[in-house]
Structures are given as structure tokens and as C-alpha cells.
């Protein structure tokens, strides 16, 4: 019999989670943007906590800015000058009178230096202690820590790879395929696979370049690459009084470019393996003195599991754990940071039903998941029993190339896994997003994939499946609507970089998306463009930054050869030649920003 689930309507059933009038914060700053900022604001407001938002110039009209109690401009679009500027964030927190900073995920959420700076500034860091972040922030350090805690790790080394010869020695020891990974990396960045001795030199060089570009740390190590394992992660909750529990596990195996697209809880693994993994996750948390919400990520091959990494923050996919456990993980994270004990023990955590999350991204699955920034012209979320959408989107929002491609997270819950898949399928059919291609059609197709239906999929399933499909890029099925969303009769005013909403008496109403409301957004400095891209030009299909140029002028170029790598929306995109020829002229330089349609290389 299904127990009452008031928590799915927004409440929490956690025993002992009573707000303390003596320790709880009155105001916090959220050092993030988008849906995670909105997510934190909602829980904080339920707890009676005021929220301070920060925003970059393109984010002036963002939903998290509108929902916060106050908001401050912190710089231009570039993350390095806004959301990654620790000094600005701490300064705003002080000016606003915030007592604590919640980092969300991404940006500075796992930066031990920023966490220490927050504490040294007399503020509270809503996350684990900086020493735990430091211990788990480097993959080599984390592997050593887990080995000491007697947690199995993926077979591989604990020393940096400095030379091609060392990489070959590792291949002789561990075999192929060999994974060359950035020690300071994550999300598939700085990870290259060598399947033969001939591929080692190129894979090592590329992994090191990506590691330096993304993490300012070119340290690379090697481990055996497991073919098509399951990617299963354990949710950890620990406090500053020595208590640690698990909140079940999630299967995050459906990925593209080593980044997750579909997550579900609980994972489809044996009861014996489930018990071992949950116990190991608690053991790992206690071994490093963990004291917040966190995630232990593992690879599962057969009846064995291996520690992969630890995420010392709230995860994107925390939603599915909330749906089956009834816990508000953001609430627990804030309570722990305020010094309160968990208030629950392991036996208090009960799991009901099944939950699935799909990441709805502005990407084109028919073009190798190419990022697709642009303006969302129509947006309507699905609803009904057991359906949740975490998003900061609305009709007229611009998905900018400066940040990641996520538009929304679609989450469903149902008593059985079969019912959950059916509900997910129905919700996708109701979801309307127009103006940019999205991952909705692929998520819809996955609902009918035999390996997804029986739960036997692995980390290579999604990309293999996507290559066989002809996926429309119109953003999903369902009834469309042309209704515009009215905007209140207010104007935005900034005074000393603080945003105020001023009501204008007698102002005519306006509709979001009307032309002429604001000047067109500039995409930044671009590489010089040729007047007209000819059939001999290899052009960039997207706005982004040139990370690598694979050819020089005069080089012979084969059809399908990679000529450049463009970073767009936090993804590396290989640009391939559409024909054979010689590289007659290079139009871009490494580090330059290019627009969609810009020539990169002219062939002769």
C-alpha cells in the first residue's frame, strides 16, 4: 500500500527537522544562476530565510533574479568576471548582510579555496568543510583516500602520467581500452580513451590540453576503461556531529559525452550489491569527515562496483532521490550548515516507488548533441499527478552560449517503474518548447528502448541508440500555445549594482517577446568573418571559443577529419571537414570567439 506523500506536494516528512530560531540563518546569498538558484530560493523561503541573488548582465531578467528578495549585478556574461569571481560574491554577501553562501552546483561549488575564503570572511559555507572538498576535489587524492578506507576503486594508478612512455607502461599493466583522465576534472572533460598503442600519444595530449583549459591543472592519470558499465551514485547526508546516512542510490548511466541525460532511482541492481554499495558510501563519508549533502559515484560491472569520484555538493539529479525518499535535500543541506544535527537515523529513511529525471537541454541530438543557444519562443510545462519540473525558463528566455545548455529538468514519480516510464512518456508529450532544438525527442524515444524498459542499459547505450535515430529538432510533441506571458508594469533599475523593480503608474501593459523592448544581445568579440562562406569553407556551426586548431596552412585535409575544437555551452565540439583538400587559409586563432557560420578553415 502506498503511504501518503505530502512531501511530493512541497512539504517534507523528515522527523526532527524543526527550524531552530537560535541557529538558523535569516538571509543567505546564492552564488549561482538558473534552475538551481530557483530551487534553493524555494526551499529557503519555506524556511523563512531571505535570499540574495547575483546575476551577470545577460541574466538581468532571469527567473532567479525575480524570485529573490534582492539581487546584485556582479559583472558581464563571462563566468570568470561574474559567477566565478569569488571576491565579488563575498563582497555582495557582506553588502547585503547575508550570513551564509549557498553555491548550488557548478561554478565555485567544489572550490575549496572559495569555501575557505567564505569562512575567513566570517560567513557560513553551505556545503562540506573545505578539507573534505580538497580531499575529494582531485581524483588522484580521492582514489588514495578511498583505498585507505578500503573502498574498491577502478583499476589504475595513483601517480600522474608525465610522458607517453609512462602511459604505455600503464597500458601494458592494465590493458586496453585505457582511460587518460584529468585529475582535477569531471563531467567527461579532460577524459580521453586510448583503444590501441597508436592512440595513446594523441589521447594524452588532448586530455592534458582540455584539463589545462577547463581546470587550470594539466595533471593526468590512467585507469582501465570499463566498457558499458552502469554508472550508479549514492546520496550521502552527514552533519557536523559525526552522523552520516545514505539516502539510496541513482542510476545515471544514460549519458552523452560522459554527461548524464536520464537518471532514475532506485537503480536496477541486485539487492546484495545495493546493500554493499550503500554501506560503502557511508563508510567513505565518515572516512573523510564529511558534513553535508554529497554523492559517491561508482561504476558497476557485473556484481562488482568501483569508486569513481565524489561530488562534494548538491547534484543536478538530487530530485529523484527526493521523490522516492520524501526528503528535501536542500533543506537538510541548509540545516547542517547551520550546525543542526540530522534529526534522523538510517532506519528513518524509507523509499517509495520509482522516479525518473530527464535533462531538457538546448541541444540537437540529430547533430551529435550540438549545443543550440537561442530564444525559446514557446514554453509550456507538463503537469498532473507525480510530475515535477525544475526550471528557470519562460517564453522569451534566451539560452545563452556563455553557460550550460540546460532548459529544464523533467521529473516524474510513480508506484512502479513501468508506471514511472509511462508517466514520463506522457509528460514529455505535453512538454512544449519551441525556438531551439531540445533533447525532448530523444528522451521520448528512450522510453520505448528495450534496454531502458528492462533496466539493463549501460553508459554507452544512449550514444549508440542516438546514432540510429532520425530525431526531429522541433522540441517535442504536444499541443502548442501562442499565449504570451504578461509582464508586470514595472521597470528594472540598478542603483550601485543593486537591482530594484519600480512600479510605473499608468504604464501600458506589455507582453514578453514584444519587439523593441530591449536592444539585441551582443554575443561578444568574435573572430573576423569572411564576407560570404563558400563551399570550400569549413564553418563553425555554433557560437563558441576555439580551443584547438588541428591543421595548419598548407596541411592536407581529409573528408571527415577534425580541423578544430569549439567549446560551446560547457561542451567540447569537434568540427570536421565536409570535403577533402588543402588548408589554404585559417580564419580563426586559438582562444578566439566565433559566431555560428564563421569560416574556420578555407580548403583549396
CA–CA distance, 587 with 585 (Å, rounded to integer): 6
CA–CA distance, 406 with 395 (Å, rounded to integer): 15
Inside any domain, residue 249 = yes
| Residues whose CB falls within 8 Å of the CB of residue 57, separated by 6 or more in sequence, listed in order | 73, 75, 76, 77, 82
Other beta carbons within 10 angstroms of residue 36's beta carbon come to: 27
- The per-residue pLDDT for 534 is 58
297 and 412 share one domain: yes
Inside any domain, residue 471 = no
Cis geometry, peptide bond prior to residue 266 (ω within 30 degrees of 0): yes
Q: What is the pLDDT of residues 160-211, one digit of tens each?
A: 888 999 999 888 888 899 989 888 766 667 888 899 988 998 889 888 888 8
Inside any domain, residue 416 = yes
- The per-residue pLDDT for 187 is 62
Q: Which residue has the cell 509582464?
A: 487
CA–CA distance, 572 with 542 (Å, rounded to integer): 11
Q: What is the dihedral of CA 368, 372, 378, 380, to 10 degrees?
A: 60
270 and 292 share one domain: yes
End-of-domain residue from the set 198, 224, 250: 224
Domain that holds residue 180: 155-224
Q: What is the pLDDT of residues 389-404, one digit of tens each?
A: 999 999 999 999 989 9
How high is the mean pLDDT of the chain?
Answer: 86
| DSSP-based three-state secondary structure for 556 | strand
- The per-residue pLDDT for 240 is 96
70 and 36 share one domain: yes
Q: What is the pLDDT of residues 464-483, one digit of tens each?
A: 998 888 765 544 433 232 33
How many domains in the chain?
A: 4
Inside any domain, residue 473 = no
- The per-residue pLDDT for 596 is 73
Inside any domain, residue 368 = yes
366 and 460 share one domain: yes
Helix/strand/coil percentages in the chain, nearest 5: 30, 30, 45
Q: Is 98 within 8 Å of 53 (Cβ atoms)?
A: no
Which cell goes with 97? 548582510
- The per-residue pLDDT for 299 is 97
Distances from the Cα of 285 to the Cα of 71, 250, 596, angstroms: 35, 17, 45
382 and 365 share one domain: yes
The number of angstroms, rounded, from the C-alpha of 508 to the middle of its chain's C-alpha atoms is 39
Which cell goes with 155? 583499476
258 and 355 share one domain: yes
Q: Which helix (H) or strand (E) holds 44?
A: helix 34-46
Closest by Cα among 435, 420, 436, 295 to 358: 420
CA–CA distance, 347 with 336 (Å, rounded to integer): 19
- The per-residue pLDDT for 191 is 83
| DSSP-based three-state secondary structure for 73 | strand
- The per-residue pLDDT for 216 is 74
**CATH assignment at residue 37:** 3.40.50.20
Collect the ranges in the chain with pLDDT lower than 50.
1-22, 474-488, 506-533
Q: Is 303 within 8 Å of 270 (Cβ atoms)?
A: yes
Distances from the Cα of 81 to the Cα of 107, 271, 561, 572, angstroms: 12, 48, 35, 21
- The per-residue pLDDT for 569 is 60
**CATH assignment at residue 462:** 3.30.470.20
Q: What are the beta bridge partners of residue 156?
A: 223
- The per-residue pLDDT for 28 is 98
Phi, psi for residue 379 in degrees, rounded to 5: -150, 120
552 and 448 share one domain: no
End-to-end Cα separation, the chain, in angstroms: 71
268 and 333 share one domain: yes
**CATH assignment at residue 556:** 2.40.50.100
97 and 29 share one domain: yes
Q: What is the dihedral of CA 347, 348, 353, 358, to 10 degrees?
A: -110
- The per-residue pLDDT for 475 is 43
304 and 220 share one domain: no
**CATH assignment at residue 217:** 3.30.1490.20
406 and 273 share one domain: yes
| DSSP-based three-state secondary structure for 508 | coil
The one-character DSSP state at 156 is: B
Inside any domain, residue 148 = no
| Residues whose CB falls within 8 Å of the CB of residue 310, separated by 6 or more in sequence, listed in order | 136, 142, 284, 294, 295, 296, 297
Q: Is 64 within 8 Å of 41 (Cβ atoms)?
A: yes
The one-character DSSP state at 131 is: H
Inside any domain, residue 453 = yes
166 and 97 share one domain: no
| DSSP-based three-state secondary structure for 544 | strand
CA–CA distance, 431 with 443 (Å, rounded to integer): 12
Q: Which helix (H) or strand (E) holds 142?
A: helix 139-148
- The per-residue pLDDT for 210 is 80
Q: Which helix (H) or strand (E) holds 220?
A: strand 220-224
Inside any domain, residue 478 = no
Amino acid at each position: 500500500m502506498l503511504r501518503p506523500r505530502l512531501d511530493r506536494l512541497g512539504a517534507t516528512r523528515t522527523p526532527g527537522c524543526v527550524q531552530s530560531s537560535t541557529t538558523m540563518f535569516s538571509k543567505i546569498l546564492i552564488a549561482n544562476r538558473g534552475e538551481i538558484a530557483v530551487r534553493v530560493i524555494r526551499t529557503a523561503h519555506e524556511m523563512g530565510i531571505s535570499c540574495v541573488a547575483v546575476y551577470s548582465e545577460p541574466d538581468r531578467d532571469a527567473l532567479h533574479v525575480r524570485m529573490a528578495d534582492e539581487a546584485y549585478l556582479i559583472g558581464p556574461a563571462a563566468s570568470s568576471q561574474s559567477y566565478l569571481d569569488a571576491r565579488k560574491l563575498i563582497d555582495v554577501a557582506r553588502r547585503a548582510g547575508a550570513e551564509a553562501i549557498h553555491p548550488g552546483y557548478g561554478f565555485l561549488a567544489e572550490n575549496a579555496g572559495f569555501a575557505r575564503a567564505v569562512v575567513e570572511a566570517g560567513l557560513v559555507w553551505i556545503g562540506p568543510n573545505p578539507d573534505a572538498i580538497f580531499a575529494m576535489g582531485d581524483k588522484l587524492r580521492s582514489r588514495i583516500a578511498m583505498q585507505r578506507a578500503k573502498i574498491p576503486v577502478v583499476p589504475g594508478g595513483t601517480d600522474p602520467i608525465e610522458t607517453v612512455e609512462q602511459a604505455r607502461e600503464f597500458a601494458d599493466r592494465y590493458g586496453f581500452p585505457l582511460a587518460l583522465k584529468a585529475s582535477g576534472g569531471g563531467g567527461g572533460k579532460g577524459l580521453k580513451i586510448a583503444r590501441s598503442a597508436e592512440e595513446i600519444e594523441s589521447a594524452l595530449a588532448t586530455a592534458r590540453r582540455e584539463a589545462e583549459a577547463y581546470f587550470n591543472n594539466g595533471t593526468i592519470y590512467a585507469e582501465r576503461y570499463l566498457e558499458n558499465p552502469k554508472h550508479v551514485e549514492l546520496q550521502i547526508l552527514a552533519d557536523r556531529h559525526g552522523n552520516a546516512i545514505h539516502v539510496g542510490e541513482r542510476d545515471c548511466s544514460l549519458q552523452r559525452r560522459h554527461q548524464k541525460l536520464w537518471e532514475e532511482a532506485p537503480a536496477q541492481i541486485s539487492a546484495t550489491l545495493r546493500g554493499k554499495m550503500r554501506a560503502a558510501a557511508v563508510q567513505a563519508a565518515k572516512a573523510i569527515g564529511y558534513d553535508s549533502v554529497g554523492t559517491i559515484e561508482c561504476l558497476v560491472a557485473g556484481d562488482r562496483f568501483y569508486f569513481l569520484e565524489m561530488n562534494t555538493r548538491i547534484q543536478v539529479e538530487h530530485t529523484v532521490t527526493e521523490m522516492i525518499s520524501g526528503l528535501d535535500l536542500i533543506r537538510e543541506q541548509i540545516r547542517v550548515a547551520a550546525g543542526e544535527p540530522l534529526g534522523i537515523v538510517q532506519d528513518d529513511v524509507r523509499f517509495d516507488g520509482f522516479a525518473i529525471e530527464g535533462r531538457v537541454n538546448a541541444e540537437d541530438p540529430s547533430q551529435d548533441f550540438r549545443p543550440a543557444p537561442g530564444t525559446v519562443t514557446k514554453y509550456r510545462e507538463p503537469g498532473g499527478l507525480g510530475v515535477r519540473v525544475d526550471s528557470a525558463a519562460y517564453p522569451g528566455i534566451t539560452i545563452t552560449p556563455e553557460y550550460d545548455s540546460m532548459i529544464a529538468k523533467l521529473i516524474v514519480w510513480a508506484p512502479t517503474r513501468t508506471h514511472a516510464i509511462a508517466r514520463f512518456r506522457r509528460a514529455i508529450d505535453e512538454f512544449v518548447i519551441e525556438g531551439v532544438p531540445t533533447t525532448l525527442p530523444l528522451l521520448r524515444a528512450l522510453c520505448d528502448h528495450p534496454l531502458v524498459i528492462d533496466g539493463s542499459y549501460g553508459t554507452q547505450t544512449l550514444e549508440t541508440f542516438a546514432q540510429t535515430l532520425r530525431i526531429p529538432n522541433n522540441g517535442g510533441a504536444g499541443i502548442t500555445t501562442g499565449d504570451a506571458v504578461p509582464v508586470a508594469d514595472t521597470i528594472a533599475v540598478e542603483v550601485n549594482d543593486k537591482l530594484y523593480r519600480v512600479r510605473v503608474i499608468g504604464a501600458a501593459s506589455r507582453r514578453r517577446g514584444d519587439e523593441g523592448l530591449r536592444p539585441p544581445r551582443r554575443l561578444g568579440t568574435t573572430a573576423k568573418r569572411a564576407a560570404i562562406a563558400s563551399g570550400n569553407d569549413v564553418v563553425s556551426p555554433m557560437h563558441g571559443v576555439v580551443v584547438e586548431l588541428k591543421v595548419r596552412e598548407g596541411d592536407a585535409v581529409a573528408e571527415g577529419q577534425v580541423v578544430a575544437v569549439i567549446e560551446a555551452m560547457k561542451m567540447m565540439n569537434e568540427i570536421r571537414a565536409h570535403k577533402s583538400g588543402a588548408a589554404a587559409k585559417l580564419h580563426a586563432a586559438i582562444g578566439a570567439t566565433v559566431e555560428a557560420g564563421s569560416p574556420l578553415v578555407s580548403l583549396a
